[in-house]
Structure 1
Amino acid sequence: MTDQPESARPGAPRLTTREAAELLGVKPETVYAYVSRGQLNSARAAGGRGSTFDADEVRALARRSGRRDPSPAGGDLVFRTGLTLIEGDRCYFRGVDATELARRYGYEEVAEWLWTGEPRPGARFTAPAGPLAAARRAIGALPAHSGSTDRLRVAVTAAAATDALRFDLSPEAVLNSARGLIPTLVAALPTLGDPAPEGSSLARELWSRLTAEPADTPSLAVLDAALALLIDHDLAASTLAARVAASARAHPYAVVSAGLGVLEGPLHGAASGLAHRMLQEAVDRGSAVPVVADHLRTGRRVPGLGHRLYRGEDPRATLLFDLLARTPRAAAALAAAREVMATTARHAPLHANVDLALAVLSVSRGMAADAGETVFAVARTAGWIAHALEEYGERPLRIRPSGQYTGPRP
């Protein structure tokens, strides 16, 4: 460790502490930890205010620690995250296979794992009375034809208005808000079937908002696993929007609102609705072959197939298909889905994704076409909160790409 005057190496390029931290991808405090361990040399800045660092030395340390130089303006943004890894056609939450987590734990337990990295067996979320009442009133004022995402966005805004402490961005406060917000979103939706018994899991609470058909154990297992699997999936479009909001230090409710706004796009959360309609048509016609043929003839992609992050079948779909195979009520829809996959495979090497598996559940249990989008939105709320917690620990407003102007010159 050295702390010599800046003039000790005249002409050498120097970085401020903030610049060195950005290059290394760490917080300023960590830069000084590197100095104390002898991994970096610092020099007093002119006037004795702060420290400066040799740029070449910082870059060498960045290479040794596996850090990347910041992307150029307009290039791809890369975020360091300790939440989700997608590698080798598998998905991991904090280093644990997401499908194994979904097999063994419920949605709330997996959410707690993603948030804290600590197991909380038997975790249950409860909707606070005040925010829930406000959310229900707000949803009740919407037109009858409003979609589920419309209702969820309104519910988030209403719940936020009741939380005077929403601007407290400490981890404990953010998690307390999240544990109340997620069940509020579910409980504020209109009830279609028998209400869940008191103390039920979030999956059971959500079931009565998705269908009037009675819940059964195999179907609830599918829904709970789907919620757990959809909690996070790296930097999807809605998650990026959530991190941008968190970078501006928006409160957690606003972060969720940002995510919901992007989720509604037909290429993101709403994609499951397209798979539902396609699969329902295949069931109604008694064969998937003419349905797939119609899509190919008109140049439309077959919904529920293919994923840019997986070479083979989406591992989330694989687990859900396995659980659906144990659900007698899903037999017809599952057979139709497998026929869709087999028919399409003759023309293109596409594999099933999680949207097709969600469609099997929604079609087989009399759910609306947007049921998969509702499941997606509720599940991913926990992921957006997890990313917000990470982003609150970064430098504010760091997500600021530069525009490349192409309009007329002044």
Structure 2
Amino acid sequence: MRDREAATPGLEGRRLSTKETAELLGVKPETVYAYVSRGQLSSRRDPGGRGSTFDAKEVEALARRNMRETGGSSSTGGELSVRTRITLIDKDRYYFRGVDATELAARYSYEEIAEWLWTGELRPGVTFTAPEASVNVARRAVDALPEHSGPTDRLRVAAIAAAAADPLRFDLSEDAVLGTGRTLIPTLVAALPPLRHDHRDEGPLAQRLWGRLSGRTPDDASLRVLDTALGLLVDHDLAASTLAVRVAASARAHTYAAVSAGLGVLEGPLHGAASGLAHRLLLDVLDLGSAAPVVADELRAGRRVPGLGHRLYPGEDPRARALFTLLEDVPGAAPALAAARDIVTTTARHTPLHANVDLALAVFTVSSGMSASAGETIFAIARTAGWIAHTLEEYEERPLRMRPSGRYVGERPPQPLPGPLGR
């Protein structure tokens, strides 16, 4: 702490240019003048008349103050903290740009929520459509994958193929990124192989996605659950995949590449694939008729029971609560709902864990005749909109700021050169 608070050598008595001040504070030059207008910094006109200068000691004090106020490592126990206006999680509720996310998902479509997240404006009735050329390239790339490829494999390849087909992908202006988001998401959906020969790519995104997840004809209640799930899962603060997206955006990777980074992390079993584990657990409970032996087998194998608990919600996951309410109206969902309740009740005998969104997704996928990987697909498509919102924010920040320093714990130099093996 003392090292961090100590004055930087060589700054005592110096005057800094606007550029130097912005770099030291980690902000854009315009923000420096905003600090001046708010009385947080004092400036002096350069004698040469080419701009303003700032007292180095005052700038350094402001930098330290900003670090404390924005959650630097000195106040978060070493955890990375990133300023964002997108999502707030607070007391078993979460908010998109200050609005209750569950209320947004109950009233608006996935595309409308995505627009709200990106622009802070609602566009009633908006639907996303993909250019035919982009879809064709993405489909050809996905079709070339082995048959056993998972959904995230397909989506990542589709994103890379769509990027290669877009000569404007390196344009990181806000309008260009918004345009990419509105076409990339439907391209990802369209690139997935349909499960019915009579499936048509039209209507809301949830309807188009359904035909890639289930061979059944959808009813209105099921489509509502799918669309609501997409809206609920759009963003969830700095999850691991979202952090990867922001690191990529910090390095000024284009939007397709940033989304691809998120998809890579999402494939981990502790993140996007969690709903698949809950799906298989539900099937086992339905097969045996009771959660008790299934839960016992999970615990005996040293595994945590999937679909339960969330580190950010001491109580009930609000996303699960919203989906379970809607699932009550889905024809044929009653057995899976009962199995989910049995799992919660069985584990609650010793550990008061609540159902999380993965268990709710599993109830939906099981009762809709979908595969175990369907929840991962829903999660990935939904979260793409949130990732794009985070790229928009990160492109406005100082480049390459996501560069923590390593704490070296190896052998201290100088060490002798190693000799060849076997001698």
Q: TM-score, normalised by structure 1?
A: 0.91
In structure 2, which of residues 163, 177, 182 is the aligned counterpart of residue 179 of structure 1? Answer: 182
Change (3 A) 1:324 1:69: closer
How far 1:46 sits from its partner (Å)? 9.3
In 2: Cα distance, 1:194 partner to 1:287 partner: 37
In 2: Cα distance, 1:64 partner to 1:270 partner: 37
Superposition pairs for residues 75-114 of structure 1, below 5 Å? Answer: 75-114=78-117
How far 1:320 sits from its partner (Å)? 0.3
Specify the code of the residue in structure 1 equivalent to 2:35. Answer: Y
In 1: Cα distance, 2:142 partner to 2:70 partner: 46
Question: Aligned residue for 2:353?
Answer: 350
Question: Aligned residue for 2:234?
Answer: 231
In 2: Cα distance, 1:188 partner to 1:294 partner: 38
How far 1:69 sits from its partner (Å)? 6.7
Would the aligned equivalents of 1:194 and 1:208 in 2 still touch at CA under 8 Å? no
Superposition pairs for residues 76-225 of structure 1, below 5 Å? Answer: 76-193=79-196, 195-197=198-200, 199-225=202-228
Deviations, residues 201-236 of structure 1 (Å, cap 9, x unaligned): 110100010011111111111110110011100000
In structure 2, which of residues 41, 55, 62 is the aligned counterpart of residue 53 of structure 1? Answer: 55
In structure 1, which of residues 61, 64, 71 is the aligned counterpart of residue 73 of structure 2? Answer: 71
Change (3 A) 1:393 1:310: same
How far 1:293 sits from its partner (Å)? 1.6
In 2: Cα distance, 1:311 partner to 1:39 partner: 39
Would the aligned equivalents of 1:25 and 1:67 in 2 still touch at CA under 8 Å? no
Would the aligned equivalents of 2:206 and 2:223 in 1 still touch at CA under 8 Å? yes
CA RMSD of aligned residues (A): 2.5
SS at match of 2:408: coil
SS at match of 1:329: coil
How far 1:52 sits from its partner (Å)? 2.0
Would the aligned equivalents of 1:210 and 1:368 in 2 still touch at CA under 8 Å? yes
Q: TM-score, normalised by structure 2?
A: 0.89
In 2: Cα distance, 1:171 partner to 1:131 partner: 21
Would the aligned equivalents of 1:135 and 1:188 in 2 still touch at CA under 8 Å? yes
In 1: Cα distance, 2:68 partner to 2:198 partner: 52
Deviations, residues 34-63 of structure 1 (Å, cap 9, x unaligned): 323444212457987752235357646985
Superposition pairs for residues 180-329 of structure 1, below 5 Å? Answer: 180-193=183-196, 195-197=198-200, 199-329=202-332
How far 1:194 sits from its partner (Å)? 5.8
SS at match of 1:328: coil
Specify the code of the residue in structure 2 equivalent to 1:213. Answer: R
Deviations, residues 210-263 of structure 1 (Å, cap 9, x unaligned): 011111111111110110011100000000000000001110000000000000
How far 1:25 sits from its partner (Å)? 6.4
Specify the code of the residue in structure 1 equivalent to 2:360. Answer: A
1:395 aligns with 2:413: no
Superposition pairs for residues 332-351 of structure 1, below 5 Å? Answer: 332-351=335-354
Change (3 A) 1:45 1:101: same
Question: Aligned residue for 1:41?
Answer: 42
Percent same amino acid at aligned positions? 67
Deviations, residues 75-130 of structure 1 (Å, cap 9, x unaligned): 32111100000001101000000000000011000000000000010010011101
Specify the code of the residue in structure 2 equivalent to 1:222. Answer: V
Gaps of 5+ in 1: 1-9
How far 1:196 sits from its partner (Å)? 5.0
SS at match of 1:269: coil
Specify the code of the residue in structure 2 equivalent to 1:28. Answer: P
Question: Aligned residue for 1:4?
Answer: none
How far 1:367 sits from its partner (Å)? 0.7
Change (3 A) 1:11 1:79: closer
Question: Aligned residue for 2:417?
Answer: none
Deviations, residues 252-296 of structure 1 (Å, cap 9, x unaligned): 000000000000000000111111110111111111121112112
Change (3 A) 1:367 1:60: same
In 1: Cα distance, 2:123 partner to 2:375 partner: 27
SS at match of 1:86: strand
Would the aligned equivalents of 2:142 and 2:191 in 1 still touch at CA under 8 Å? yes
In 2: Cα distance, 1:157 partner to 1:324 partner: 35
Would the aligned equivalents of 2:134 and 2:162 in 1 still touch at CA under 8 Å? yes
SS at match of 1:308: coil
In 2: Cα distance, 1:153 partner to 1:380 partner: 13
Would the aligned equivalents of 1:15 and 1:55 in 2 still touch at CA under 8 Å? no
In 1: Cα distance, 2:22 partner to 2:77 partner: 21
Deviations, residues 155-182 of structure 1 (Å, cap 9, x unaligned): 0111001100000001111111111110
SS at match of 2:333: helix
- Number of aligned residue pairs: give it: 401
In 1: Cα distance, 2:312 partner to 2:20 partner: 33
